[in-house]
A and B are shown apart, each in its own frame.
Chain A
């Protein structure tokens, strides 16, 4: 994804060293990283940009400086919301929530019939028995993040 980023991983590392938050957080490059880890695996200096980018995204969210494109933010929010509700990811639920959050209501509608026919879109979500445990776990992580 480096070729689609205004700030590719090496630029992100440079700006991090310079503590240039304005440029790092003022752009969607951080959010275009897929954590494919190619930069970390191939860095001749054994730097780990993938971890740094994950940490920067957390920091951006804490500082309220999140410039994630709407679709990407909608995806992550919908994903975590699914886990919070059922303990697992219902892909149908994810897509429905994603559409509402992102406004991309008609995206991919054309492939739905073929996927339904092949039984790839189970409409009933699986709710696990330990759902309260998962909710507590997610709340505990959130509290810790707030405290740190």
Chain B
């Protein structure tokens, strides 16, 4: 299967291990990811704060490029990019005037015909294949019987109109993938709470407070591991706390480890 791919800026920088694991998983699932040629930043975190039109136009440029390059679907594995791209699709479709205004500022044709896929939608759709491959190739399977708390954060599930998962308070997509890997998804309370990621540079203390609460809750619920598809969540934890080491597994991303018994070091 061939799929257009929008990596986004962090995948080539602070979250490079996410791209490495994604490409390894894609190879194992025989997915051919074709990077959109000459893609640009989607403006996540900042453009929509400054100007609504800019917040739509920056991601729309990439959708227009994907269209011109013959794609029907684009995979945006970064949760923030996914949210902005998918938000642009809906803004252009639903907001009055946008369908005319966006091609005008883009100076290129834009039919808004591309569907944006998150990593969870993609892997959830492939869960039967994952299950079969994991059973056939991973012996022993290091994930077997591991309790895993799926952390979604904000951008994959909200607003519900643009993301379209089954339930924005208790989504189940990631659990299907965890089960397909023969691990046990656990129920816990903070799966869709905010980690503060967008402030990881500018207001670190808030990020630590929010991420720490989620990380401890995940650990308390699972006693072993948390899975996250949110880049900034794991980046914030990794960069700031050093308490959660990231290790690659056969899933979008697994941040494994036990928070050290020095909680004071988490708070600045």
* Interface residue ranges, A against B (CB under 8 Å): 1, 4, 32, 34-38, 40-41, 48, 50, 54-55, 57-58, 61, 69, 71-72, 74-76, 79-80, 82-83, 87-92, 94-95, 98, 102, 107-108, 111, 114-115, 118-122, 126, 128-130, 133-134, 136-138, 140-142, 144-145
Contacts and interface: CB of A to CB of B under 8 A. Distances in A.
15 contacts: A35-B198, A37-B159, A40-B159, A48-B159, A50-B159, A72-B199, A76-B45, A79-B47, A88-B39, A90-B13, A94-B201, A107-B204, A114-B242, A120-B15, A140-B104
Given A87-B41, A128-B38, A134-B61, A41 B160 contact: yes
Contacts of B169: 41
Given A41-B159, A89-B41, A76 B49 contact: yes
Contacts of A140: 57, 104-105, 107
A76 B46 contact: yes
B206 A79 contact: no
Nearest to A33: B49
Instruction: Tell me whether chain A's interface is mostly helix, strand or loop, or mixed.
Output: helix
Contacts of A36: 154, 158, 194
Contacts, number: 161
A57 B201 CA distance: 20
Interface residues of B, number: 55
Contacts of B93: none
Contacts of A118: 16-17
Given A83-B40, A128-B40, A129-B38, A144 B46 contact: no
Interface of B: 9-10, 12-17, 38-41, 43, 45-55, 57-58, 61, 101, 104-108, 154, 158-160, 168-169, 192-194, 196-199, 201-204, 206, 210, 239-240, 242
Given A83-B40, A120-B16, A58 B52 contact: yes
A98 B202 CA distance: 9
Nearest to B48: A54
Contacts of A76: 45-46, 49-50
Nearest to B158: A37
B9 A88 contact: yes
Contacts of A4: 206
A75 B202 contact: yes
Contacts of B204: 107-108
A141 B53 contact: yes
A125 to B, nearest CB: 10
A46 B26 CA distance: 39
Given A1-B206, A134-B40, A79 B13 contact: no
B43 A83 contact: yes
